[in-house]
């Protein structure tokens, strides 16, 4: 079983997305979003399933829910024995 851990790429992708879609980007905690992204990556049923992060509409500039599909290459992947 592989475990996803956020890295600098994950941080950059999420921060760019937050800056683009959030009504008040400065109010968003990047560490919380990193945790959400890791959870999404680790809860997938297969490696083919998308890694999706969603911001609810009340927090977005558009007023609509916004989603981000994070590519698996944006994470470091580890197995139970060590790095893959």
Among the listed residues 72, 65, 67, 66, the one whose alpha carbon sits nearest the alpha carbon of residue 38: 72
What pLDDT does residue 83 have? 52
Mean pLDDT of all residues in the chain? 94
CB 68 within 8 A of CB 52: yes
Q: What is the pLDDT of residue 82?
A: 55
Low-confidence ranges of the chain (pLDDT < 70): 82-84
Distance from C-alpha of 41 to C-alpha of 50, rounded to nearest angstrom: 8
Q: ∠ at Cα 18 (13, 20), nearest 5°? A: 95
In 3D, which of 41, 59, 51 has the Cα closest to residue 2? 41
pLDDT of residue 15: 98
Per-residue pLDDT tens for 10-33? 999 999 999 999 999 999 999 999
CA 26 – CA 24 distance, rounded (Å): 6
């Amino acid at each position: 079983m592989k475990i996803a851990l956020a890295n600098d790429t994950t941080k950059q992708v999420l921060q760019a997305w937050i800056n683009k879609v959030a009504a008040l980007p400065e109010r968003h905690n990047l560490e919380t979003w990193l945790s959400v992204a890791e959870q999404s990556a680790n809860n997938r049923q297969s490696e083919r399933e998308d890694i999706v992060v969603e911001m609810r509409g009340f927090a977005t500039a558009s007023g609509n829910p916004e989603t981000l599909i994070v590519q698996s290459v944006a994470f470091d992947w580890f197995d139970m024995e060590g790095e893959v």
